Amino acid sequence: MASALKRKRGAVEVSETPKRAKSIKTSTNDPLQKLSSINAGWEAAFNPPTKTKELAKTNGTNAHKSESKIRSPSSEALDFEDMSEQDQWTQQQAYIRSNLQTPKSKIWALSESIGGRMINVDPVFSMDEKYFIVASRTALHVYATTNSLLVRSIKPKINGDKLDTRIITYCLSPTQSNIIWVACSDGAIYSIDWTSGAGADQWWGISSTGCVHMTVASMESVGRRRDVVFTTEMRKDGRWRVTANELAQPDSTIQTVARTIYTSQNQISFLKTAKEGTVIVGSAGNKIVLGRLKSTEYDTVDRIKYEFRVFESTDSISSVDIKVSERPGINDVKKSMKRTPVVDLVVGDVRGAIFVHNDLLANLIRSQDGSLPPGISLAPRKLHWHRQAVHTVKWSLDGNYIISGGTETVLVLWQLDTGKQQFLPHMSATIQNVVVSPSGSSYGVQLADNSAMILSTAELTPMTNIAGIQANVLSSGETIESTVLRLRDESWKPPLIQRIPAAINPASPSQLLLAVGQTQEINPYDPLVLSSPFLQTYDLGSGHNISRQALTRSNVTNVNATPSTHRLSEPRVTQMVLSHDGNWLATVDEWVPPERDIVFLSHQKKDLEAHRQSRREVFLKFWQWSHENNTWELVSRINKPHTQEQNSSYAGRILDLAADPESPRFSTIGEDGVVSIWSTKARKRDGVVVRGKDGKAFRNWYCQHAISLGKSELLVESENVSATAVTGCVAFSEDGSVLAAACSIHGGLLQLLDPDSGFVRQSHAGLFEGHIAKMAFIGQDLIMLSDQLLVFDLVSNETRLKTSLSSNIQRLSDVQKREMMHLSVDHQSRTFALALPVRNSEETYEKPLICRESELFIFHQDEAEPQLHEISSAITALLPAADSEGFVVLDTAAEVRVVHKKGSQIITTLAQSTEALHLEHEATESVGELLRLVEDENNEEMDDHEPPTPDLTVDGDDEDDENDTPVVSQQALTEIFDIGPSFALPPLEEMFYQVAGLFSSKPLAQKMS
């Protein structure tokens, strides 16, 4: 047994980095004119100062081999007017610059991840049903069923030698209810105490080829009971096997032994035991494997023996469940059959059919020996309602119902006696797994949108809701549905990992907004173009889901397929930006009809792709936050904000969307090469301003300016320019006075616009190579990302940094660059982050995305060398942290990490379990002690002060000695104080009035005359 111990590192002392001083300005008799007026401001902003700064150029004519940093005027945010007033560097400033030699590894740190994708495995109830256990790729998460709070997160010490090692399944021990068995893809098995986390650093290695599935049975023989772990793994010869393992602790006198009990040519993807391991069932392709224990007389597991029977189904099996009961005592049953339990099996296949096999094991035995009674057939009972694969099927606790779910987002309850069905429709996503609680009083349902809930069996109402980050994740391989030949949806060619539109709310910096969809798994072999019609709001501070609402039309219903059984395609949100104050949200959604919908036009010899693009739908939507309803309300929808070409009438794609950091204003650039500036105005009806209940005027959005880019005389190769832009970018300066725009129509031409007047003020040619991918401002510097990384000083018109990207990245297609290259700017720390896709040695043509990773860089505005260089899972979103210095990173595991300066407070600090926050062991007074304390205080007051004699009332009560002090029960105080952890309690004022209401006497009646 291998074990590993975690080493705790001591506190790292971080030396304080001296702040960079502002340049010393010399007084002048003629101060420069401020940028209040339009013309003077633009001339002052873009004319280089008379006293220029000496800049060291990298990859330029003035570059030096020993020069590693770029000297710059200032590291602080400065307006353009301030930049034109600065003088040269003084010797004092140069001395400060020379002492900024803080090691790069001590500046930034990557926080622990939060969130994560729930693996597609049945969740687990605790035996007392107080806790609900789910797992992500690298951790177990224990939730309380009473309040849906995360109680504990347990991360096993996963061996990092193999790439993509992850948790594949977990089972609660039937012998010890506090132990949970965990299996990893590298063949490691863990026995973890989920109540404390003990055992997470020790494991058994059962197979060098990895593990596919696992189940656990509590078996007794020779007077000893133990947990037997059944695993399925691949053999070295390419076949598959089922192994029974008895895994002993290091200090135990029992040895760790194993025995192979079954081998198969096909992968065994499902395994389950019943009746203390005497019956075992598995599935391999379209075959059901049913085994029975031969004898319980064995001392160790390596002597255990099973006999198996195999029968085939018509299609591949997607889900199985087993129910075993004692055979009733019937006189005409053979003695050998009386020891055979009644095994009822329910099977779901990939085409939506459910088969119910009653007493299957006994019927198989009797059919083989010829003793099957007449009238009894091995043909199962067939139930068919699902149109596609049955993802999960389970027996109810009493065996009278079958619960099933699939892609229809409908939970179906089948009553076997009457044949009736009961439906719970409109679930939020595909139903992946259903489990029945130990008492049968509730169902645990796991959905494909990374959420889970607990439903009461009586009313089918949710009692517990758990929702994680619903971003796209990279799946580990093909699903069982891929065995069915169906017309596939549109896929990315060449393959890529789709970018996720995301934003941090400036009004609430802990809120992460994501554009998500119903289908979130990325197939690494043939990635589909995934729709994203929903907006998820996730709280990074607490690690909880806040809300989810639709941004486009969605089809989460039981009729989400066409008459030809094809899935209805939904629009995809491609751009999403928040205004500077967080009150406005701008989104762009696109929809293109699938190819199968226009195949009928092929006989007309038309260009089907051109015809398909002509039917494209593009909408620019503006949403306003409603404080009354706590949701985003649609205010304006712009149809066809851009066209495919300037003289075209077809809707064109929006290549980029940017928000003004100083005012409620947005800018877009389309593939027609036009930059549009969108602003608001008061809504009027018959010349009268329309106002709401609060008296505020309603607002509408309109196009304030539409500027066509391009000056042909500035282009280097104007003859190679296409009429439709493939890529384009827009970016506002920090003060909102400059709008930079560039697109691939005009080669390397950069246009600097005045957003107030809509005029082009300056143009720069040849600043970027290839197609522009991203663009952003830091102070006076403009950062451009194409086939090279360029930092351009707009004040001095000089290139401060120019670095070509690797040839592997340059060979990517334009769509791959647009989706997988990320650029983000943090104005507080004057840094920018860059995420680039990389390939490792294990990536092949057959598996183009299975090993995709991202390389993360962080550059300071004034330095040529990165301050941080990390390689992580493929990054799908990169955002600046709104309330602190740093960045928020989202990857293909649906995990969020924060890049922060060491020693600084990060936003995800409190996004932990209640155990990590020490909320489970708070030293608080019990309710009984609080009750006694209140009674003692009341007694002291009665002794010190004689209460006044009340006047007579008309209630007719003559018992003068009756005590009017109310008696407050302990249960009443418990309902006020013991409702959850401290951060979930109601306001203190509300609790005070609740307690005061319990201990206050009823008011006396008025004295009657």
User: Under a CB-based contact definition with an 8 Å cutoff, are residues 749 and 711 in contact?
Assistant: yes
The H-or-E segment that residue 974 falls in is helix 970-977
Rg of the chain on CA atoms, in Å: 34
Per-residue pLDDT for 625 more than 70?
yes
Per-residue pLDDT for 159 more than 80?
no
The 10s digit of each residue's pLDDT in 409-435 is 899 999 999 889 999 988 888 999 999
Share of the chain above pLDDT 70, in %: 76
- Concatenating the DSSP letter of every residue in 891-960 gives ETTSEEEEEEETTS--TTTT-S-TTTTT-SS-----HHHHHHHHHHHHHHHHHHSPPPPPPP-SS----T
Query: How many whole angstroms separate alpha carbon 406 and alpha carbon 383?
Result: 14
Place 336 in a pLDDT band, splitting at 50, 70 and 90.
low
Task: Outline where DSSP puts E strands in 247-389.
Answer: 257-264, 270-274, 279-284, 287-293, 306-312, 317-325, 342-349, 353-357, 381-384
The 10s digit of each residue's pLDDT in 901-934 is 888 878 887 778 888 877 765 444 444 444 454 4
Place 486 in a pLDDT band, splitting at 50, 70 and 90.
low
User: Under a CB-based contact definition with an 8 Å cutoff, are residues 261 and 242 in contact?
Assistant: yes
Per-residue pLDDT for 885 more than 60?
yes
Per-residue pLDDT for 463 more than 80?
yes
Residue from 359, 356, 389, 393 nearest 373 by CA: 359
Query: Which has the higher per-residue pLDDT, 905 or 219?
Result: 219
Which pLDDT does position 274 carry in this prediction?
92
Give Cα 647 to chain centroid, integer Å.
41
The arithmetic mean of pLDDT across residues 640-665, rounded, is 92
Per-residue pLDDT for 490 more than 60?
yes
Query: How many whole angstroms separate alpha carbon 325 and alpha carbon 32?
Result: 92
CB-based burial label for 345 (10 Å; 0-12, 13-18, 19+)? buried
Place 375 in a pLDDT band, splitting at 50, 70 and 90.
low
User: Under a CB-based contact definition with an 8 Å cutoff, are residues 584 and 664 in contact?
Assistant: yes
Which pLDDT does position 793 carry in this prediction?
93
Work out the mean pLDDT of the chain and round it to a whole number: 79
Share of the chain above pLDDT 90, in %: 44
Amino acid at 470: Q
Amino acid at 891: D
Which pLDDT does position 92 carry in this prediction?
29
User: Under a CB-based contact definition with an 8 Å cutoff, are residues 698 and 691 in contact?
Assistant: yes
Place 633 in a pLDDT band, splitting at 50, 70 and 90.
very high
Q: Cα-flanking dihedrals φ and ψ of residue 985, to 5°?
A: -75, 155
Token pair belonging to 658: 């940017």
269-285 CB burial, b ≥16 within 10 A, e <16: bbbbbbbbbbbbbbbbb
Contacts of 426 (CB under 8 A, 6+ apart): 409, 410, 556, 557, 558
Query: Which has the higher per-residue pLDDT, 340 or 954?
Result: 340
Query: How many whole angstroms separate alpha carbon 594 and alpha carbon 70?
Result: 50
Query: Which has the higher per-residue pLDDT, 577 or 207?
Result: 577
Per-residue pLDDT for 160 more than 80?
no
621-654 CB burial, b ≥16 within 10 A, e <16: bbbbbeeeeeebeebbebebbbbbbbeeeebbbb
Which pLDDT does position 945 carry in this prediction?
43
- Concatenating the DSSP letter of every residue in 313-350 gives -SS-EEEEEEEEEPPP--TTS-HHHHTS-EEEEEEEET
Which pLDDT does position 565 carry in this prediction?
67
Query: How many whole angstroms separate alpha carbon 7 and alpha carbon 617?
Result: 56
Which pLDDT does position 851 carry in this prediction?
54
The arithmetic mean of pLDDT across residues 766-771, rounded, is 83
DSSP state of 483: G
Place 495 in a pLDDT band, splitting at 50, 70 and 90.
confident
Per-residue pLDDT for 69 more than 80?
no
Which pLDDT does position 477 carry in this prediction?
66
The arithmetic mean of pLDDT across residues 981-1008, rounded, is 66
Place 717 in a pLDDT band, splitting at 50, 70 and 90.
very low
Q: Which of 90-104, 748-762, 794-808, 900-914 has the least mean pLDDT?
A: 90-104
Other Cβ atoms closer than 10 A to 348: 28
Per-residue pLDDT for 270 more than 70?
yes
Whole-model pTM: value is: 0.78
Which pLDDT does position 105 carry in this prediction?
52
Per-residue pLDDT for 476 more than 80?
no
Query: How many whole angstroms separate alpha carbon 359 and alpha carbon 357?
Result: 7
CB-based burial label for 558 (10 Å; 0-12, 13-18, 19+)? middle
Which pLDDT does position 710 carry in this prediction?
65
Per-residue pLDDT for 651 more than 50?
yes
Which pLDDT does position 462 carry in this prediction?
92
The 10s digit of each residue's pLDDT in 543-561 is 889 999 999 988 766 566 7
Other Cβ atoms closer than 10 A to 4: 12
Token pair belonging to 353: 């059919």
Query: Which has the higher per-residue pLDDT, 92 or 675?
Result: 675
User: Helix/strand/coil (H, E, C) string of 68-108?
Assistant: CECCCCCCCCCCHHHHCCCCCCCHHHHHHHHCCCCCHHHCE
User: Under a CB-based contact definition with an 8 Å cutoff, are residues 291 and 280 in contact?
Assistant: yes
Which pLDDT does position 1000 carry in this prediction?
72
Place 35 in a pLDDT band, splitting at 50, 70 and 90.
very low
Most confident among 45-49, 395-399, 998-1002 (mean pLDDT): 395-399
Per-residue pLDDT for 207 more than 90?
no
The conformational region for residue 818 under phi > 0 = left, psi -120 to 50 = alpha, else beta, is alpha
Q: Which of 367-376, 551-560, 939-948 has the least mean pLDDT?
A: 939-948
User: Under a CB-based contact definition with an 8 Å cutoff, are residues 209 and 234 in contact?
Assistant: yes
The arithmetic mean of pLDDT across residues 671-679, rounded, is 93
Which pLDDT does position 330 carry in this prediction?
62
**Could you tell me where the DSSP H helices lie in 454-514?**
none
Query: How many whole angstroms separate alpha carbon 55 and alpha carbon 53?
Result: 6
Which pLDDT does position 332 carry in this prediction?
56
Which pLDDT does position 426 carry in this prediction?
86
The arithmetic mean of pLDDT across residues 830-840, rounded, is 87
Amino acid at 601: L
Per-residue pLDDT for 122 more than 80?
yes
Which pLDDT does position 813 carry in this prediction?
87
> What's the CA dihedral at 136, 141, 145, 150 to 10 degrees?
-120
Most confident among 101-110, 186-195, 760-769 (mean pLDDT): 186-195
Query: How many whole angstroms separate alpha carbon 343 and alpha carbon 484?
Result: 29
Query: How many whole angstroms separate alpha carbon 845 and alpha carbon 827?
Result: 40
CA distance readout (Å), 53 to 22, 57, 778, 797: 14, 12, 18, 12
Per-residue pLDDT for 955 more than 60?
no
Which pLDDT does position 984 carry in this prediction?
62
Does the N-terminal peptide bond of residue 494 adopt cis geometry, omega within 30 degrees of 0? Answer: yes
